[in-house]
Amino acid sequence: MSKKKIIPCLDCKDGRVVKGVSFVDLKDAGDPVEIAKAYCAEGADELVLLDITATTDDRATKLDLVRRVAEVVTIPFAVGGGIHSAEEFRAVIGAGADKAAVNSAAILNPELLKELAEEFGSERVVSAIDAVRRKDGSGWSVVRNSGTVDADMDVVEWAKQVEELGAGEIILTSMDEDGQKKGYDIGLTKAVAEAVSIPVTASGGAGSKEDILAAFTECNAAAALAASLFHFKEVGIRELKEYLKENGVEVDL
């Protein structure tokens, strides 16, 4: 059985780490370079940096920030936000990211994922999927542009499609639960994890060690991503991993 991964997420705006609820009401959480360095030292398995206003600002990811973070980390490092083309993907990888996440651009042009996988390899291509629960309870819909636009697509069907197109993993964020700290959307994560064979990272809603345990034991996520929980020192990564280990989850200590 593969070891489960703990992944802190740096949501960045204007060169600072921020955290809010469903990507709004943002609060400053610190300098991304210093935070990245600290998470690396604490034992994070990977790191994700999301330039959360790149797409809504209609600009590319800030490469200088990517370079500065890449210089201080020794763990796999993924970047997302504002990647609209193979050229921008190439630039992010060239700036030091190990892999890059594509969201809105892939929804608008699914063949982009295939193009990226063929050029860079599936292991570098991450499909970031933001989901909202449908009001009629029939499942989840895909949203884009930081959750501001309904893409009129079913999340589970889109997850299957991104795998077929060549994405090597999925970061699955529940916009309903993001920042709520009441736990991941277990039904959503389980539905996607069971529908695909590539790793799925649970994102959106972690508020406790128990929430992260549930992502692994109740829906078979390959990794758990969290922000507030780590940024505001509510749970330490080493402490979390020891708790998971005690509860039968294989992690890298």
Q: Where are the alpha helices (DSSP H) in the chain?
A: 32-42, 63-70, 86-94, 104-108, 111-120, 155-165, 186-195, 209-217, 228-231, 237-246
User: What is the Cα–Cα distance from 142 to 125, expressed in whole angstroms?
Assistant: 19
Residue 18 predicted with pLDDT over 90: no
Integer-rounded Cα Rg, in Å, for the chain is 16
200-250 residue pLDDT tens? 999 999 999 999 999 999 999 999 999 889 988 899 999 999 999 999 999
Over range 97-123, report the average pLDDT.
Answer: 97
Residue-level pLDDT at 21: 56
Residue 234 CB contacts under 8 Å (≥ 6 apart), including other chains: 207, 228
Q: What is the reported pLDDT for 15?
A: 80
Report whether pLDDT(195) > 90.
Answer: yes
Q: What pLDDT, on the 0 to 100 scale, is given for residue 25?
A: 57
Q: Is 130 a catalytic residue?
A: yes
Q: Could you confirm whether 11 is annotated as catalytic?
A: yes
Domains of the chain: 5-246 (3.20.20.70)
Strand 200-203 relative to strand 223-226, pairing: parallel
pLDDT at 16 over 90: no
Give the pLDDT score at 146.
Answer: 78
112, pLDDT greater than 70:
yes
Quote the CA–CA distance of 142 and 140 in Å, as a whole number. Answer: 7
Query: At 199, is the secondary structure helix, strand, or coil?
Result: coil
Q: How confident is the model at residue 11 (pLDDT cuts 50, 70, 90)?
A: confident
> Could you give the CA distance from residue 16 to residue 27 in angstroms, rounded to a whole number?
10
Q: Which residue has the higher pLDDT, 195 or 227?
A: 195
Kindly report the backbone phi and psi dihedral angles of residue 161, in degrees, each rounded to the nearest multiple of 5, phi listed first: -70, -40
pLDDT one-digit tens code per residue, 43-77: 999 999 988 776 666 666 689 999 999 999 999 99
* pLDDT of amino acid 30: 81
| Residue 13: per-residue pLDDT | 82
Catalytic residue among 51, 130, 178, 211: 130
Whether residue 26 has pLDDT greater than 80: no
* Number of CB atoms found within 10 A of residue 132's CB: 19
pLDDT for position 54? 65
* pLDDT tens, position by position, 133-189: 999 999 999 999 878 898 999 999 999 999 999 999 999 999 999 888 999 999 999
**pLDDT for residue 55:** 62
